[in-house]
Structure 1
Amino acid sequence: MARPPGPDRPLYVRIAMSLKGRILAGHYRTGERLPSEDELATSLSASRSTIRQALADLRRAGYLTSRRGSGSYVAEELPIEPLSPKSGPVYTGFLDDLDAEANHVQELDRTQEIIAADPDTAARLHIPVGAEVTRYRAVRLRHGIPYGIATDIVPVHVAEQITSDVLRESATVVDALALAGSRVAESLQRVEPTSLTAETADRFDLPPGTPALALTGIAYDADRAPVDAYSLTIIPGYGIGLHLTRATGT
C-alpha cells in the first residue's frame, strides 16, 4: 500500500526530509553542528519533541551524529553524495508518491549499448574509469505524449540482471531495476537549463539549440549503492508541478 502524500505524513518526518534537503544542498556541511533543538523548534514552528524525533530519524539514516553535551552534527561521510558544488535548494519528497505517476509513463525506441565509463560516470557510480557500463536511451512519454529523452547508465553487474524479458516487461529502466532486484530506494537530482542537441531536436521536430531542461541524478538501492546515473532532457511544453506546504506545530 502506498503511503499518503507528503502533507499527510507526520510532521517529524517532513522536518527530517527538510533538514536532509539542506544537508544535501550544502547548506549544512559535513562535520558542521546543526542549530540547537530549541533553535530548530522556533524556526520550524514545531515542538522540541517533534524536532527530537526528526533528528533521531536522520541519525538512524546516517546523516547526523551526536556529541554528548554538544548537539547534532552532519556526518563526515553521508549515505549519498551531496550536490556539488553547492546547489540551490533541494526539495525533498518520497519515491513512493511517484508510483502512481509512473503508471502513466513509458519509454519507446529504447536502445542499449555497453560503453566504457568516462571520469564523470565513474565518479557517480563509484566504479573505475573505463569500467564497462550499460547505457540505455529512450523517448519518454507520459499519457502517450513524448516529452523528453531518458538516458540511464547502469553498472554492468547490475545490468546483467536486467534480462531482455525484464526489459520488455518494464515501462522504464527504473522499473527494470526493481524487477531485477535493484529497486531504487533514494535518489538525488538537479534540474538545470540546457538546449537541445541536433539529435534530440530532430526526434521532436524542433530546431537544434531549442531551450530545454536537463534533469540529472544518481539513484541508489537499499544498501545505498549507486545503481543508475541518469538524465532526462525535457522538451518545451512539459510542465512539472511543485506543491509546498508550510509545516505547523504539533
Structure 2
Amino acid sequence: MMKDTLWSAIAATLRDEIGAGHYRPGDRLPTEAALSARFGVNRHTVRHALSSLAEAGLVHSRRGAGVFVAQRPTDYPLGRRVRFHQNVLAAGQTPSRRISRVETRPCDTEEARALRLKPDEAVHVVEGVSLADGQPVAAFRSVFPAAPFPGLPAALRETQSITRALAALGLADYTRSETRITAQLADPVLAVTLSVRSGAPVLRTVALNVDPSGRPVEHGTTWFAGERVTLTVADQP
C-alpha cells in the first residue's frame, strides 16, 4: 500500500469509529504508540492520520495529555448579561476557566476611549482561557478601570471568577451595552491557546459592559474557536 493510502485509511477507520460512538465527545483516543501497534505502522503515519482528523475538527490535542474527540459545539448566547459559567452549564457542559495574566498598567488609546478614562490612567488587564468539559472554547482579554476596583487582582486570584470578584468589590450586576463580532484566522499563538490548528476560523467579539448607572466597567475581547461554539444573539432580561 502507498504511504498516503495508509494514513488516510487509518483516518477513515478512526472517523468511522468516532461516528459510531466507539469514542465519544471528550474521550481520549489511544496513544500514538497504541495506534501504531494496532495498525502496524510507524508513529509518523499515525500522526499524519490524527492531523487530518484535527483539520476536519473531529479531534483536538492537548499538550502532554493526548488527542481527544471534539465536543459538540457549545451554544453560547450573547445577551445583555455576560455569564460564561451559566451559559456553558445551560448547554449541558462543565465550565472552567484558566486565568493566565493579571496585570495593572496604563491604559492605551482604545481602552481610554471605551472606558472613558484619561490618557495613561491605570487599568487591570485579565487574560485567560474559557473551557467547556475541559476543552478550550475561547481565549479572552478583559480590561477594567483600576480606580473603582483597586482590589480586583487579589479578588481574581482568590475566586478565579470575574463575576464573583466584581461582586466581592461591590458590583453585583453589570450588563453588555455593545458587542462587535468579526471573523479571523487563528495565528500560531492563538492556535496553541485554543488547541486548534494555525489558520483555523475564529470569531472575535469586542464588548463593552456597564454598571447599572451606565458607567463602563469592562472592555473585553474574546476569541471563540469557530468550530466549537455557536454564538446566538439573545435578548436576555
TM range (shorter): 0.5 to 0.7
Q: Shift in Å at residue 101 of structure 1? A: 2.4
Paired residues, what number? Answer: 154
Question: Judging changes above 3 Å, is the alpha-carbon distance between structure 1 residues 100 and 149 closer, same or farther for their aligned structure 2 residues?
Answer: closer
Q: Shift in Å at residue 114 of structure 1? A: 1.8
SS in 2 for 1:141: strand
Q: Determine whether 1:189 maps to 2:179.
A: yes
SS in 2 for 1:242: strand
CA deviations over 1:67-107 (Å, ceiling 9, x no partner): xxxxxxxxxxxxxxxxxxxxxxxx98452887732654332
Aligned to 1:101, which of 80, 87, 100? 87
Question: Residue 163 of structure 2 aligns with which residue?
Answer: 174
CA deviations over 1:12-35 (Å, ceiling 9, x no partner): xxxxxxxxxxxxxxxxxxxxxxxx
Normalising to structure 1: TM-score of the pair?
0.53
Displacement over 6 Å in runs of 4+: 96-99
Residue 240 of structure 1 aligns with an amino acid whose one-letter code is T
SS in 1 for 2:126: strand
RMSD of aligned Cα (Å): 2.9
Identity %: 17
Q: Shift in Å at residue 214 of structure 1? A: 0.3
Aligned to 1:220, which of 184, 192, 210? 210
Correspondence 1:121-136 to 2 at 5 A: 121-136=111-126
Which has more strand, going by share of residues? 2
Structure possessing the higher radius of gyration over alpha carbons:
2
Gaps of 5+ in 2: 1-76
Residue 129 of structure 1 aligns with an amino acid whose one-letter code is P
Normalising to structure 2: TM-score of the pair?
0.56
SS in 2 for 1:227: strand
Distance 1:107 1:92 in 2: 18
Question: Judging changes above 3 Å, is the alpha-carbon distance between structure 1 residues 154 and 102 closer, same or farther for their aligned structure 2 residues?
Answer: farther
